[in-house]
Every structure is written in structure tokens, then in C-alpha cells.
Amino acid sequence: MAEDTPQRIERSVLIASTSGLHARPAALFSQAAAEQSVEVMIARPGGDPVPARSILMLLTLGADQGDEVILSADGEGAAEAVATLAALLEKNLDEEG
């Protein structure tokens, strides 16, 4: 039986929140990232990935509404974690109750 090798999951997402990935959306996103079973990284295309669970690092991305970001994670649970966080970014978190 072959050993399972960790699979890298990557997904490109457009930021939907009116204020981009700043303020409230960044706080909600980093909190959700911290709850995932694997560490998820986030990057601007061509940029260095930063931990999605770090609100300070999220703010350094300078991602605004309509900007593309790339989520990535490795290992068991990576697909679910990336899908969960991508769904958050695809919502306008400024309007979430």
C-alpha cells in the first residue's frame, strides 16, 4: 500500500467585502482561519504567502474589494479549510449580521 502524501490545495478567490480584507472582514476571516484543522496561507498573486490566522499579516496584504488572493493549505483537511475560508471571502462580510 502506498503512503498517503499530503496534497497541496490552492484556490483563487476575489474579495467581496466592501472594505476589502480590512477591519471587520479581516477579523472575521482570521478568526475562522484559526479554527481550521490545518494552517491556511493567503497571498496576493506573485506575493509571499502569509498565515491567514494572523490579522496583522492580513492587513499587510492591502487586499481591496475585487482583488484576487490565493488561499493554500497542505495535509488532511486542507480542501475543507480552503473551501470554508474561500466562501467567507466571497461574501460581503461588512454586511453580515
Side-chain-side CA neighbours of residue 72 (13 Å): 15
22 noted as active-site residue: yes
Which cell numbers hold the place of 57?
Answer: 499579516
| AA identity, residue 69 | V
* C-alpha to C-alpha distance for 62 and 81, rounded to whole angstroms: 22
Q: Out of 9, 22, 53, 88, which one is annotated catalytic?
A: 22
- Show which residues are catalytic: 22
